[in-house]
Amino acid sequence: MTEPRKLFIKTYGCQMNVYDSERMAEAMGGEGYVLTDQAEGADMVLLNTCHIREKASEKLYSDLGRLRPLKAANPNLKIGVAGCVAQAEGDEILRRMPLVDLVVGPQAYHRLPEMAWAGRQQVDTEFPVEDKFDLLPARKAPRGPTAFLTVQEGCDKFCAFCVVPYTRGAEVSRPGARILDEAAKLVERGVREITLLGQNVNAYHGAGEGGDWTLARLIRALAAIPGLERLRYTTSHPNDMEDDLIAAHGDLPALMPYLHLPVQSGSDRILKAMNRKHTAEQYLRLVERIRAARPDILLSSDFIVGFPGETDRDFEDTMELIRAVGFGSAFSFKYSARPGTPAAEKPPVEEALADDRLQTLQALITAQQRAAQEAMVGREVGVLYEKPGRLAGQMVGKSDHLHAVHVEDPQGRVGELVRVRVSASASNSLAAVRIP
């Protein structure tokens, strides 16, 4: 028997890249490649990249630099660049980095196996008409209890700062039946929780039985799959939070009480300049409606500070919105000018000022996160065990509200969904006792 070839994949960026990396590993599995956890000794290295901020895309070039000695020692090593930097700068990558063998954009992954066997310096950054998901091989091997499943890709929103509409293309939703089929196969492999993914997941409109399905309709169909206990979805745009989806949070026990709903800013002036198409007040009213449907829901968000033209007043409006909502967690970023986006044409905010604002905002978010965790102490929640803890007899999993939880449970098994009582809150996790 010949030795299997070794494939090393490094994933940068969002959860959609995590899902794509998994599917690419499966596609290459069909070609006799097995995954390895280090680039040294691999036959193929794939870098699945992110273009969202300047720092993210720069990482690609420094990582490629580090692969140079490996390529020198083994000229047969294949080096591929996938993901959003591949889409945005495919030709530049090949010019700057001759060691790269293939460049494959996010919509062309089904072509990866044939590209891997073809000659050097292959590029495919087309947006083909066929559905790449259908052309990727089925998922087979047993796996852990949680999985991502991409249901929607691309974005038509064109926020003034963002590269996603250019790197992922126009909004496309997968047909409902295909998603149900993929979900059922994941459940057969041991999955009990699925997070539905899309750059604008709540804008999902896929072909389904009886006509066009909304995300809420899709979630209801998925919740009926026996053994699929938990559903989540990310990332949502406030303007696509329709009534049927809000209602689902109130009456579908499988839909978990956690929602990532990026707002970016609390200033109407900045929201307008960002092309977000809603006001701070509209966001606050939306939060009220969501909380009316599911009072214990935890909200998270994304914030950008230092967007061009952001004044102290605008920043204070953002702080005010955060105080008014009370988030369970949030990601916050300093604005990064991205080539080709409208905002990149405008004069930037002074760097030191943006740094200060980021620190101030993060301190408030951290305080709110702690408070949300403290508020869980004494409460009963569900936890899905994902792995054994570092201490003997301990299990680790996520709560319904997506908190990491450590549970003392010597009999606990990975994949078990248990009821626990939260006993304490640490900086980034909760401790809990299993309820017999």
Q: Does 403 bind ligand F3S (CB under 6 A)?
A: no
User: Which partner from the list ligand SF4, ligand SAH, ligand F3S, none does 338 bind, CB cut-off 5 to 8 Å by kind?
Assistant: ligand SAH
Site for ligand F3S in 142-201 (CB under 6 A): 163-164, 167-168, 199
User: Which partner from the list ligand SAH, ligand SF4, ligand F3S, none does 158 bind, CB cut-off 5 to 8 Å by kind?
Assistant: ligand SF4
Cβ-based nearer residue to ligand SAH, 50 or 395: 50
| Cα 175 to Cα 238: distance, rounded to the nearest angstrom | 23
Could you count the other beta carbons within 10 Å of the beta carbon of residue 320?
Answer: 13
Cβ-based nearer residue to ligand F3S, 199 or 329: 199
269 to 220, 275, 279: CA distances (angstroms):
38, 10, 9
Q: Does 267 bind ligand SAH (CB under 6 A)?
A: no
Q: Does 157 bind ligand SF4 (CB under 6 A)?
A: yes
User: Which partner from the list ligand SF4, ligand F3S, ligand SAH, none does 167 bind, CB cut-off 5 to 8 Å by kind?
Assistant: ligand F3S
Q: Does 159 bind ligand SF4 (CB under 6 A)?
A: yes
Q: Does 273 bind ligand F3S (CB under 6 A)?
A: no
Three-class secondary structure of residue 202 per DSSP = helix
User: DSSP for 360-417?
Assistant: HHHHHHHHHHHHHHHTTTT-EEEEEEEEE-SSTTEEEEEETT--EEEEE-TT--TT-E
User: How wide is the angle at C-alpha 192 spanned by C-alphas 190 and 195, nearest 5°?
Assistant: 120
Q: Does 331 bind ligand SF4 (CB under 6 A)?
A: no
| Contact flags string 171-210 toward ligand SF4, x per CB under 6 A | ----------------------------xx----------
**How many CA within 13 A on the CB side of residue 390?**
0
Q: Does 105 bind ligand F3S (CB under 6 A)?
A: no
Strands 211-214 and 205-208: antiparallel
Report whether 26 contacts 60 (CB < 8 A).
Answer: no
Binder among 264, 265, 329, 399 for ligand SAH (CB under 6 A): 264
Three-class secondary structure of residue 246 per DSSP = helix
| Cα 341 to Cα 165: distance, rounded to the nearest angstrom | 10
Cβ-based nearer residue to ligand SF4, 155 or 259: 155
Three-class secondary structure of residue 341 per DSSP = coil
In DSSP terms, 104 is beta-bridged to 82, 124
Closest distance between ligand SF4 and the C-beta of residue 262, in Å? 7
Length, in residues, of the chain: 436
Closest distance between ligand SF4 and the C-beta of residue 337, in Å? 15
Burial of 349: CB neighbours in 10 Å, binned 0-12, 13-18, 19+: buried
Cβ-based nearer residue to ligand SAH, 258 or 335: 335
Report whether 414 contacts 365 (CB < 8 A).
Answer: no
User: Which partner from the list ligand SAH, ligand SF4, ligand F3S, none does 165 bind, CB cut-off 5 to 8 Å by kind?
Assistant: ligand SF4
User: Which partner from the list ligand SF4, ligand F3S, ligand SAH, none does 255 bind, CB cut-off 5 to 8 Å by kind?
Assistant: none
Stretches 8-16, 358-366, 392-400, 403-411: which one binds ligand F3S (CB under 6 A)? 8-16
Binder among 16, 28, 39, 52 for ligand SAH (CB under 6 A): 52
Using CB under 6 A as the criterion, which residues of the chain lie in contact with ligand F3S when the complex forms?
A: 13-14, 16-17, 50-52, 83-84, 163-164, 167-168, 199
